Every structure is written in structure tokens, then in C-alpha cells.
Structure 1
């Protein structure tokens, strides 16, 4: 078989390693690697986002409005139980302009079990005190204040040094300490006393 006698040209000098013959151009392997890496990163990110979204839907943190939201449950707040403790002395102050209101509350307290000589009455500096309030000194007095409020048919309670004995703070809090509750009668009690009783 006769050999080709065509003259050599620039296509006869192409490298065999390129895998291409003729006028085809080989792709840049480095550029192709970056494209593959970019697509892999995008696919990974999409899968992560879909996974997070799916887990939120399954756990119920994301809803599409097809199911009603569960009704909120009321959380139980810790409350101090009320306790009638007649070992406390009581000071009743009339915080309204209505005469005899402190005496009427005093009679109600005595009727609840307090000794008459442990319940004192007086007038407050104000005549427009809004809500009947029972003041107590220590945290340990809160239950007794709540018990007195219940005995009066409802009243607010608040911790305060108002009209409390000014003992030395270094004195230990024991049974020898004076225990006192202060009731300031408010306009709410005045309105209740002023309301006429229903007649049969």
C-alpha cells in the first residue's frame, strides 16, 4: 500500500494526549472541575434547605392553615394559700370619707375570730383610697394577709412597711416579733356599704 505523500501541516503536530483529532478543541479540565463543584454545592444546599423545612413541617412548627391552632393552656401560677391567723393584730384605717366604715370592718374581723382587743381602728390620711388593701410586712405574713382578705369577702394584699413596727433589722424573725396586718378601707368597700339591701 502506498504511503500518503501529502505535505505535513499544522494538524499533524497535535498532541495525542488531548484525545481529539482534527479541528475539535478540548475543554479546559480545570474549568470543568469548578463547574462540577459549583453544581454539587448548589445541590447540597438545596437538600439541606428541603430537609430543614420538612422537619419543621413534621414537628408542627410550620403549618399551612389547614389545621386549627391548639387552644392555649393556662399555666398555673403559684399562689400562697389563705390562712386565718388570729395571732396577728390588725389595724383598720378608713381611707374614705364615709363615717363608721372602719368600725364596720372591725366588727367583721372580730366576727371572723379575732379578739376585740387585737383590732384597732383609725382614719387614713386620704379619703379617696380606691381599693381596700391589706398590708403585710414579711413574706411569711402573706398567707395571713390572704386569709384576712378572704374573711373580708375579698381585698387586695401588698407587702409594705406601712405602719409596721420599726424593729432592728438584725433582730431575728421569730415568734416574739410583733405580727401586724394593716387594712386600709377603700372606696370599693364604701360603695358596697352604701348599696341598699334587697328587700323581699
Structure 2
């Protein structure tokens, strides 16, 4: 290589610089990107787990560790004791297509102590009444209705104003109130079963 023929100047006596000269770009380390991604994945997983756990606690599928609330225990309903009270008048309706059931049941009630004048019979508007039922009006009549249901055997009891006097307001303590029970014979006593059911 040919030597320079330029004359020497003040820049020829400068010492050789050590290190880098000029602009240099620092390398972008790839490991830092993986660390950020790893932490993001961990945070997402934790949020998902917390969300699932919270949903299970709120829906009651798992307990949160607190003392469980005891389930309410059902209390037995007080039943009204049955009382056979022949002072009640009784209306017997045949709710089936079989004839003679109301008269047969009337005869049984007379044998049980009711007077013939206190028991009336008739036919119901329905001929497919499901279950023989004794209907009463006031709460005070429930015991007598239960007693009548036991007397005829296997009858249900229900509260209704069906065929009750319209001039009888809700006066359970009024001794002068009309005392009436209504029996509707159902198809469970069809085909002569009313005369075969044992009296209580």
C-alpha cells in the first residue's frame, strides 16, 4: 500500500482512540419478551381460577369455610281432633253417575246418630267428582267435618262456602249460626263402595 504523500498536520499526532467510535445500537435481548409473556400468562391463569372459585361459592356448590346455615326443620302441622257432632245438618250430594249412593250414605248417617230431618240428599252438577269430600265453612266447623269424614270412612276434608247459607257471615263464635256440612260423594265410592266402606 502506498504511503500517503499528503503533508503531516496536527491530526497525525493524535493517539489511537480506545473503545468504540461512532454511533452503535444496543442489542434488544429476546429473553425479556419471554419473561413478560410468562408473567401475563400466570396472571391470566390466577384470574381464571379466582373467578371459577368465586362462582362456585356464590352458587352454593362449595362452602366458603364459614359455618353453614342449618336448614329449617319442618314443623308438624297441628291437626284438628275429630269430633262426631250430630247437631250439624248434612247435605249429601252424589258426584258420580251411579244412582242411589246419596241415599245409602244418608241411611248410614242416620244409623250413626243424625236425625232423618238433618240429612238431605241430592245430585251434584258433576258426575265425575274424584274423591269423596266433606266441606265445612268456618274454622270452628273443622273438627265436626273431621268427625263426619271418619264416620263415613276414608273421606277428605276441605273448607268451602259451597251450599252454605248466604246469610251466615263469618261469625265463628255465634251460637245461632247455621251449622251445616256438605258431603260430595266421589267416584272412589262408585259401584256400591259407599255401603262397603267401614265406618270409623
TM-score (norm 1): 0.58
In the other structure, the counterpart of 2:111 is 111
Give the conservation status (yes or no) of the 8 Å contact 2:138–2:172. no
Superposed, 1:141-152 pairs within 5 Å as: 141-152=141-152
SS in 2 for 1:165: coil
Q: Kindly state the Cα deviation for residue 169 of structure 1 after the two structures are TM-superposed.
A: 3.1
Superposed, 1:65-144 pairs within 5 Å as: 75-144=75-144
User: How many residues align structurally?
Assistant: 132
Superposed, 1:41-80 pairs within 5 Å as: 53=65, 56=67, 61=68, 75-80=75-80
| Residue segments in structure 1 that go unaligned for 5+ positions in a row | 1-51, 63-72
Equivalents in 1 of 2:170, 2:144: separation in Å? 23
Equivalents in 1 of 2:78, 2:184: separation in Å? 26
| Residue segments in structure 2 that go unaligned for 5+ positions in a row | 1-63
Question: Is the alpha carbon distance of 1:193 and 1:172 closer, same or farther for their aligned partners in structure 2, counting shifts above 3 Å?
Answer: closer
Equivalents in 1 of 2:171, 2:140: separation in Å? 16
Question: Is the alpha carbon distance of 1:159 and 1:91 closer, same or farther for their aligned partners in structure 2, counting shifts above 3 Å?
Answer: same
Give the conservation status (yes or no) of the 8 Å contact 2:91–2:182. yes
SS in 2 for 1:151: helix
Equivalents in 2 of 1:189, 1:153: separation in Å? 11
For 1:134-173, what per-residue CA distance to the aligned partner results, in whole angstroms no more than 9, with x for missing partners?
1111110011000000001121111111110011638785
In the other structure, the counterpart of 1:169 is 169
Equivalents in 1 of 2:195, 2:143: separation in Å? 30
TM-score (norm 2): 0.58
Specify the structure having the higher radius of gyration (Cα).
Answer: 2
Equivalents in 2 of 1:190, 1:116: separation in Å? 23
Equivalents in 1 of 2:170, 2:193: separation in Å? 43
SS in 1 for 2:147: helix
